[in-house]
Amino acid sequence: MKKSAFTVLITFAMVLALSSQTQAQNPVVHKKISDNRASLTLPVSGKEISINYGTPAWGETDRLAQAPEGFVWRLGMNEATELHTGIPLAFGEKTLPAGKYSLAMRHVKDGTWELLVNSETGQWGGPKDRSKDVAVIPMTMKKVENTAEILKLDIVQEMGSGGLNIMWGPYVVSTGFAVRQTEN
């Protein structure tokens, strides 16, 4: 009897430790701003990464699969999707300085997409001036069983790196990044 109570106590302590470790690694706060707008915020090293975006419904048409090559999607609806980062983020060899940016996606071909990071902010729709793109980042696209009827963005973080996941309809489109520490 004592052995089984000890086992239960140890198991409970391990579950508690794992759940608090998971929360500490990914304290993303998702907020519904209005019926068609949402945001997410991730605290990192005393700063924040946040994204504010429109939340269109998927509907009956597979818009991502039918997008022609070169098509640029505003990544949301209504006002441009905006990224605010208080720390530099590295996407491969490209480091994005702390700041405010608009995000869009471009269909390259055959289900391949790129994330467009643009210095033009505050506009309706997506960024229009491609000369203000400060980064073009390759993305991977996977078809999944669980569909997202409403567009949802998420940031995951693990040990100084992370990922941006865009979930809409039967797809998850994602890219990874690394957090660059700055000297204060």
Q: How many other CB atoms sit within 10 Å of the CB of residue 8?
A: 10
172, part of any domain: yes
* pLDDT reported for residue 92: 87
What is the three-state SS of the chain?
CHHHHHHHHHHHHHHHHHHHHHHHHCCCEEEEEECCEEEEEEEECCEEEEEEEECCECCCCCHHHHCCCCCEECCCCCECEEEEECCCEEECCEEECCEEEEEEEEEEECCEEEEEEECCCCCECCCCCHHHEEEEEEEEEEEEEEEEEEEEEEEEEECCEEEEEEEEEEEEEEEEEEECCCCC
pTM of the model: 0.82
3, part of any domain: no
The CA distance from 73 to 67, in Å, is 9
In DSSP terms, 143 is beta-bridged to 171
pLDDT means over runs of 10, the chain (184 residues): 38 33 64 95 92 95 90 95 96 94 95 95 90 96 94 87 94 93 59
What is the number of structural domains in the chain? 1
The CA distance from 95 to 114, in Å, is 16
* pLDDT reported for residue 3: 46
13, part of any domain: no
The CA distance from 149 to 99, in Å, is 31
165, part of any domain: yes
36, part of any domain: yes
6, part of any domain: no
* pLDDT reported for residue 61: 87
The CA distance from 36 to 91, in Å, is 29
Residue 43, domain extent? 28-179
63, part of any domain: yes
* pLDDT reported for residue 25: 57
Q: How far is CA 38 from CA 30, 76, 80, 84, 134, in A?
A: 7, 10, 12, 14, 24
15, part of any domain: no
